[in-house]
Structure 1
Amino acid sequence: MLKIFSTQLQGKFKPFVDDESSIEEAARLVAQAIVGEGNVYFYGGDEMGGVLSEALFGLEPFPRAKSLEWNAGELPCTTIDRAIVFSRFSQDEEAIKIAQTLEQQDIPFVAVSTVEKKDEVGLHTIADVHIDLKLLKGLLPDELGNRFGYPALMLGLFVYHGIKFTLDEILGELEEEEEEL
Structure 2
Amino acid sequence: MKIFQTQLQGLLNQIDNNEAELEDAARLVAQSIISDGDVWIYAEDEMIGVVAQAMHGSDSLPNLSLGEQGALFDSMDTLLVFSPHKLSKDALNVVLSAKEEGANIVGVSSESTPHEGEAWTDHCTLHFSTGIKNGLVPTESGNRIGMPHLIVALHYYYGLYFSVMEMLEENEFDFDAVD
Deviation, 1:43, is: 0.4
The answer as to whether partners of 1:114 and 1:136 remain within 8 angstroms in 2 is yes
The answer as to whether partners of 2:73 and 2:97 remain within 8 angstroms in 1 is no
Counterparts of 1:29 and 1:121, CA distance in 2: 25
Give the corresponding residue for 2:155: 158
Identity %: 34
Give the corresponding residue for 1:41: 40
C-alpha change, 1:115 and 1:3, in structure 2 (3 Å) is closer
Give the corresponding residue for 1:87: 83
User: 1:14 aligns to what SS in structure 2?
Assistant: helix
The answer as to whether partners of 1:123 and 1:130 remain within 8 angstroms in 2 is no
What amino acid does structure 2 have at the position aligned with 1:9?
L
4+ long deviations beyond 6 Å: none
Give the corresponding residue for 1:107: 103
* 1:124-178 superposed Cα distances (whole Å, 9 cap, x missing partner): 21011111111110110001111100100111111000000111121122229xx
What amino acid does structure 1 have at the position aligned with 2:21?
S
Any stretches of 5+ residues in structure 2 without a counterpart? Answer: 174-179
Deviation, 1:37, is: 1.0
Deviation, 1:77, is: 2.2
Deviation, 1:68, is: 1.1
The answer as to whether partners of 1:115 and 1:124 remain within 8 angstroms in 2 is no
TM-score normalised per structure 2: 0.89
Counterparts of 2:165 and 2:74, CA distance in 1: 23
Any stretches of 5+ residues in structure 1 without a counterpart? Answer: 177-181
1:142 aligns with 2:134: no
The answer as to whether partners of 1:34 and 1:63 remain within 8 angstroms in 2 is yes
Give the corresponding residue for 1:62: 61
Deviation, 1:61, is: 1.2
User: 2:48 aligns to what SS in structure 1?
Assistant: helix
Counterparts of 1:171 and 1:7, CA distance in 2: 35
What amino acid does structure 2 have at the position aligned with 1:156?
A
What amino acid does structure 1 have at the position aligned with 2:101?
Q
Counterparts of 1:47 and 1:40, CA distance in 2: 21
What amino acid does structure 2 have at the position aligned with 1:174?
N
Deviation, 1:92, is: 1.1
Counterparts of 1:132 and 1:4, CA distance in 2: 21
Counterparts of 1:18 and 1:68, CA distance in 2: 28
